[in-house]
Amino acid sequence: MFNWSNLGLIFAINGAAFLEGSNLPDSILLAFIILFGATINLFVGSASAKWALLAPVLVPMLMLIGISPEMTTAAYRVGDGSTNIITPLMPYFPLILVFCQRWQKEFGLGSLAATMLPYSMFLLASGIVMTIIWVILGIPLGPNAPVEFVLQ
C-alpha cells in the first residue's frame, strides 16, 4: 500500500523535514527510534510485521537526514529486542509462563511481566547508551556499513 499510495515517501519527506528542523543530534534521534520500537513492540507481536510497516517510512526518512539504513535497522532491533520478554504478544510468552508455573503454581501473566521488567529496562537503557556511544564514535556497523549516509 505504501508503494501504491506513495504515503511512505510523503511521511518520510515530511518526517525528515521535521527532524532536521528539530536540530537534534543523530545519536538522540536514534535513541528516540529505539524507544519508539520498544513501545510499538508492546502492541504488535510480529517483528517482521512491524518492520514491514515502519521500514518504508523510517529508512528513507533517516537517510534524508544522513543516517544509514543499517544504523536505522540496528536501532529498531535494539528497541524491539529489549521489550520482547515483557510483551504478552510474544509467541513464547505462554511457554515461559507454563515453565514458571511448574515451580510456582500461582505465577501468572503479571508476575512474569513484573519479574522481567527490570531486565527489559536494563537492556533498553544499555542499548540506548551503546547506540549513542556507537554513533558519537562513528564506528562502522560492518564492512561498507557506516553509521552516516551521504545522499548523492
Over the chain (152 residues), the average pLDDT of each successive run of 10 is: 80 92 94 94 85 90 93 94 87 88 90 92 97 94 88 76
pLDDT of residue 6: 83
Q: Output 144-149 pairs: Cβ under 8 A, ≥24 positions apart.
A: 145/68, 145/70, 146/68, 146/70, 147/26, 147/67, 147/68, 147/71, 148/26, 148/66, 148/67, 148/68, 148/71, 149/62, 149/63, 149/66, 149/67, 149/68, 149/69, 149/71
Three-state DSSP at 144 gives coil
Q: Are 60 and 9 in contact (CB under 8 A)?
A: yes
pLDDT of residue 135: 94
pLDDT of residue 88: 82
- Would you say how long the chain is, in residues? 152
C-alpha cell at position 71: 544504523
- 82-111 core/surface letters (b: 16 or more CB in 10 A; e: else): bbbbbbeebeebeeebeeeeeeeeebeeee
How many CB atoms within 10 Å of residue 132?
A: 17
pLDDT of residue 152: 75
pLDDT of residue 109: 85
pTM of the model: 0.87
Q: Where are the domains of the chain?
A: 2-137
